[in-house]
Amino acid sequence: MAGKKMTLNPAGSHSIPAHVAIIMDGNGRWAQSRKMPRLAGHHEGVKTVERIIRAAAEANIQYLSLYAFSTENWKRPGSEIDGLMNLFRHFLKFKLPDLKKNGVRLLFSGRIDGLPDDLANEMKKVEEETSKSERITVTICVNYGGRQEIVDSVNRIIELGYAGLITEERISAAMYQPKIPDPDLVIRTSGETRLSNFLLWESAYSEFYFTEVLWPDFNGEELQKALTYYAGRERRYGSVKGA
């Protein structure tokens, strides 16, 4: 995570979202526009992940969630999937020292048991080795789907033998990362304006920010734009202004 330090200055600490979630979109289009293979875009996207983790920490964001690989992404060509899995392996193996040095706690969210065993084991190792880090908590969503998470939550409640009515609180407590607060701000890059099955339950009252910028080109300045937009929003959670 070495590189030039970027300082973000949102309009007042009270305006900084505690939890920012990002749908990292546009790696393939970035590569194709440069007549490069799609995997080259994913390589650049990993560099952006490092850059944005650093920028988010400097902005005093406490939680950052990144949509890395959805349950639908298994439909992509096998060569691209293999390349992505190898990128995950490389990132976890070689970036762990930097993560620990910079106070980054890393968590993983999704159907991890559906990933290759060696990768799932490496994820568990990284979670354990960064568990004491306190500067920022980064959740990487891998083999993740919002609908699947809700289904898994309800099934977990059933498996644990809970009796009585199912409540929102009970479902929330059975989600993949129940100790992480719901995202205040959801960002999507590349010009698309949909959630694509990302944090459906958790983003019920999130603010949304969409940008045309492709993920490999996203940087601290672009994150600042999103934070400035968020600072100008009035969050009422369904209430009427002035009520």
pLDDT value at 203 more than 70: yes
Helix (H, G, I), strand (E, B) or coil at 178: coil
Among residues 9, 27, 60, 73, the one annotated as catalytic is: 73
Per-residue buried b or exposed e for 135-161, using 16+ beta carbons within 10 Å of the residue's own CB:
ebbbbbbbbbbbebbeebbeeebeeee
Q: Between the CA of residue 210 and those of 130, 143, 215, what are the distances in Å?
A: 31, 23, 12
Judge whether residue 152 has pLDDT over 70: yes
pTM of the model: 0.90
Neighbour-count burial for 60-86, b at 16+ CB within 10 Å, e otherwise: ebbbbbbbbbbbebeeeeeeeeebbbe
- The 10s digit of each residue's pLDDT in 11-39 is 344 589 999 999 999 999 999 999 999 99
Lookup result for tokens 């992940």:
49
- Specify whether the CB–CB gap between 206 and 41 falls below 8 A: no
Active site residue 73: yes
Helix 78-101 to helix 117-129 angle, to the nearest 10 degrees?
20
Cα dihedral 201, 202, 203, 206 in deg (nearest 10): 150
pLDDT digits (tens, 9 = 90+) for 55-112: 999 999 999 999 999 999 999 999 999 999 999 999 999 999 999 999 999 999 999 9
Residue 10 banded pLDDT, cuts 50, 70, 90 = very low
Name the least confident of 155-169, 194-208, 209-223.
155-169
Do the Cβ atoms of 186 and 203 come closer than 8 Å?
Answer: yes
Domains along the sequence of the chain with CATH? 15-231 (3.40.1180.10)
Residue 243 is predicted with a pLDDT of 42
What residues have CB less than 8 Å from 26, skipping those under 6 apart?
41, 189, 190, 191, 213, 214, 215, 216, 217
pLDDT interval class at 2 (50, 70, 90): very low
